[in-house]
Structure 1
């Protein structure tokens, strides 16, 4: 069994990386991760996943070094498994199992003992680990072809736990996991005794870490404690920073006013001195001396006020730097409003593939959470409501305009700009009107002219959301499928703000309970063979 380090386990020194097209990600980056569970957070595009890939050796740095103390395990984002693998192969224990079985059958070849090593209980540990992660139905001799995306993630995690690495890297491990699977992963993280570095936007998962590392502008800021403590600390820091910013802005205004008043006084004084000199008929040399003296005094005073203004501006720059620019979406969508009694959606004995049935009457601006295990049919139901799939039986009636935001965010034309994409959804809107609305989704000026192909994950999400909400006719029913997957914490907050301004009916399929609880839901529906109302979670 590998030893657990008691000092720095991951050390990045002067680490630099840029993509082949020359786009820089990290430059002279420093990081030291010690024992315990560290949550690595940051905006989309900050370089979190790239950093994990550099630490794991999947990418080669363009400069600097990465040092790992001990054995390393890595769970990447967007994991795919070879569907022809047997479960014991995916767990990395097939050779040891076959050697054990050979020894048990009487074959005492030394090769078998070498393959087993000290791991005589490998099968028992494998089954116990699978049970702990809710994969008890998986036999070690089965293939992985039948696994869902969430089960593939858990199987890979089981393999890592069996290998008992010193350092474990997890990249967005709860994406694609249903509620039950998330709970098992939370328990696994909470019980981890080694070094763990987790990239995640899952606030519940981040409650189980010992410290938060916030990656921003190529540097990490450390916060002791879990995510709740980080939020409290950050809120206090931002309150102080905003107060200092207001003071700095007031100081700059005061220094500008003082400088302007000083110039007026000096001009008046110079004019008065000149007039007085002419009245007294002072000698030319004496008048010149007085003029030079006045100019020197004026220069000193003006220089003093200018210096004070520059110092005030420097303090303002520093204060602005301290206030985070995780800007908020501010929108008003009155045209999406739905009267309280109006029918928005009717599902009449709708049958989905695999026999799931759904009956629903949705009236007015109800806000519904759609929950259920992976594979229950939530995505299929949303696509059926949206008219993208025809149900095998039953009737779907949607008497109001609706829009569907799928998991893949693939609604944008990659070659078109953000403005052009929004115009596809609202063809009668003028260019100025579209740009004014996009500014509220944080696409101002040249940002609105970016091609969709160049957008970061958070920008793509905002552009897609803008296209749907600004569509003509405006949607009075909005369907969202796992909208917080792959979104950073700032983007999740922005989504919540946008949905607060939305006045139509809402159906959201999600496993992200903190996000759902922030939406002002009126009903929770669970899909499990049938669609039924459940207690709020």
Structure 2
């Protein structure tokens, strides 16, 4: 791995297909070490990663990468028909090795192998290092969970030993055990690593923070806590500057008003002298002209001072962050504590492992559904929501239910955000739909953007708006990894909204701090059956 590997972007400009500007003249450079790239949803983090990876072409500017590059995208979708060795990129070398071991010594096989005679051993070691030691090289991707596929993609990158590694929300869908494996990779990285993430524990491991905001990057030394501390100090200083600038503007306004009063008095006095003809006309004319020149200079001086003070106030206000946040107003769907909202009895989903046992959810219970990748949490949630019919047993909601899927694939990519949301609430007027969307930061033309142009966080907001605006309003919410792709501010706002929700809630998530923030009343682990567990056990991956 090259220790001088680096990425350099010069005067980078890029527009979305709908014409919206993402970057204009962006300069960005990152070298050896671990860099966390953060910013609000939709600010262009994933776009910048894709530009560096060569998946997108800028309208202007250049991108250069020194050292080999590996890119783990936010949505790592693999062909389910592939084998593990094909994903790792070693299938041809394995076939050549098998041929040579079988006595076929044609030169073409040796050309394919090169010096990589231990490719199978290295591959198995890479899989084992990421907790995939139980998966053989002939294993089919279709038999693996989403989290295992993410780790498999990462193993393929590590085998290439790149100097530059780009990770876009790598902990999405990973259970606690898999996250620890990823953290180990990050801790031991000696090249250049650039990671986009909302995972606090991952961002605590970086050496510096790059804050992408309004098309520009501001650098902060240290990890996420150091960034938050520095930003708090910076923002307090900015607020003090605003207060001082506001005081200066008011003072300049008073001085300008006072100057106008003084000048008016001088004019009245000069007119009185002219009217009473106490001095010769020549002398009075000279005095009048001198007074007019002096008055003009005085007025211009105070006007310029006021303009300068107002400009300083504008600059000070621009330094204070007043980022808009989603305003989630969950419907008033209070559920009486004794009301049954969901019943499970030995359900066997169409895919995933069967579930033994019974579960009755009553009233405003708040349940965390945890478990290892591949345990069947998504299949169970889809069965609870009524999207899948169990092959046997019972699983179904007894009240109006809203389901937020992990893949956020319920949106019609060809339709606008407003039209997507309107589909869920056909009785609502267009004005009512747009008023709700404004609370999710889709205002004006933003509501008319095609769903295909949305970032991961924007797609989440649109899907959540569609869910909460539905008729009838949900009294049971089923959420599958809801914090995936959300920026830190949106995670906090979602936590606040769900904490105030009065209906029943079942959340599948590996994000323990988020689960604790929404007042979970019961922790369940899915492992062939639903077992009671604790947040401490979830953190430890047990």
Task: Tell me if structure 2 keeps the 8 A contact 1:52–1:171.
Answer: yes
For residues 9-158 of structure 1, what are the structure 2 equivalents within 5 Å?
Answer: 9-19=6-16, 22-158=19-155
Question: Aligned partners of 2:81, 2:101: CA distance in 1, in Å?
Answer: 27
Question: Aligned partners of 1:445, 1:61: CA distance in 2, in Å?
Answer: 27
Task: Tell me if structure 2 keeps the 8 A contact 1:386–1:403.
Answer: yes
Q: 1:74 to 1:432 in 2, by over 3 A?
A: closer
The CA deviation string for residues 289-333 of structure 1, in whole angstroms up to 9 with x for no partner, is: 444333333322322222222222222222222222422345666
Q: SS of the residue aligned with 1:335?
A: coil
* Aligned position for 1:367: 366
* Aligned position for 1:381: 380
Which of 232, 238, 241 is the aligned partner of 2:229? 232
* Aligned position for 1:345: 341
TM-score by length of 1: 0.86
Task: Tell me if structure 1 keeps the 8 A contact 2:385–2:396.
Answer: no
Q: 1:283 to 1:448 in 2, by over 3 A?
A: farther
Task: Tell me if structure 2 keeps the 8 A contact 1:344–1:505.
Answer: no
Matched length: 532
Q: Does 1:499 align with 2:498?
A: yes
Question: Aligned partners of 1:130, 1:196: CA distance in 2, in Å?
Answer: 20
For residues 133-532 of structure 1, what are the structure 2 equivalents within 5 Å?
Answer: 133-275=130-272, 277-279=274-276, 284-330=281-327, 335-338=332-335, 341-343=337-339, 345-349=341-345, 351-353=347-349, 354-357=353-356, 359-391=358-390, 392-394=392-394, 396-399=396-399, 401-409=400-408, 439-443=438-442, 456-469=455-468, 474-532=473-531
Question: Aligned partners of 2:421, 2:487: CA distance in 1, in Å?
Answer: 23
Shift of 1:338: 4.5
Q: 1:368 to 1:245 in 2, by over 3 A?
A: farther
Task: Tell me if structure 2 keeps the 8 A contact 1:344–1:477.
Answer: no
Shift of 1:372: 1.8
- My pick for the range that moved more, 520-529 or 373-382, is 373-382
Question: Aligned partners of 2:313, 2:91: CA distance in 1, in Å?
Answer: 63
Question: Aligned partners of 1:445, 1:157: CA distance in 2, in Å?
Answer: 40
Q: SS of the residue aligned with 2:117?
A: coil
TM-score by length of 2: 0.86
Q: SS of the residue aligned with 1:319?
A: helix
Q: 1:415 to 1:32 in 2, by over 3 A?
A: closer
Task: Tell me if structure 2 keeps the 8 A contact 1:333–1:502.
Answer: yes
Instruction: Compute the RMSD of aligned alpha carbons.
Output: 3.3
The CA deviation string for residues 462-509 of structure 1, in whole angstroms up to 9 with x for no partner, is: 344345445565544322221122223333233223334434332222
Q: 1:443 to 1:93 in 2, by over 3 A?
A: closer
Q: 1:90 to 1:386 in 2, by over 3 A?
A: closer
Structure 1 unaligned spans of 5+: none
Shift of 1:416: 7.3
The CA deviation string for residues 196-250 of structure 1, in whole angstroms up to 9 with x for no partner, is: 2222222222222222222222222222222222222222222222222233233
The CA deviation string for residues 87-139 of structure 1, in whole angstroms up to 9 with x for no partner, is: 22321223333343444445554444443333332222211111122222322
Question: Aligned partners of 2:98, 2:415: CA distance in 1, in Å?
Answer: 60
Question: Aligned partners of 2:372, 2:313: CA distance in 1, in Å?
Answer: 51
Task: Tell me if structure 2 keeps the 8 A contact 1:345–1:360.
Answer: no
- My pick for the range that moved more, 153-162 or 347-356, is 347-356
Q: SS of the residue aligned with 2:313?
A: helix
Question: Aligned partners of 1:62, 1:434: CA distance in 2, in Å?
Answer: 35
Shift of 1:535: 0.7
Task: Tell me if structure 2 keeps the 8 A contact 1:178–1:373.
Answer: yes
Structure 2 unaligned spans of 5+: none
* Aligned position for 1:4: 2
Shift of 1:195: 2.0
Q: 1:144 to 1:504 in 2, by over 3 A?
A: closer
Question: Aligned partners of 2:101, 2:516: CA distance in 1, in Å?
Answer: 54
Question: Aligned partners of 1:109, 1:421: CA distance in 2, in Å?
Answer: 59
Question: Aligned partners of 2:197, 2:180: CA distance in 1, in Å?
Answer: 15
Q: SS of the residue aligned with 1:490?
A: helix
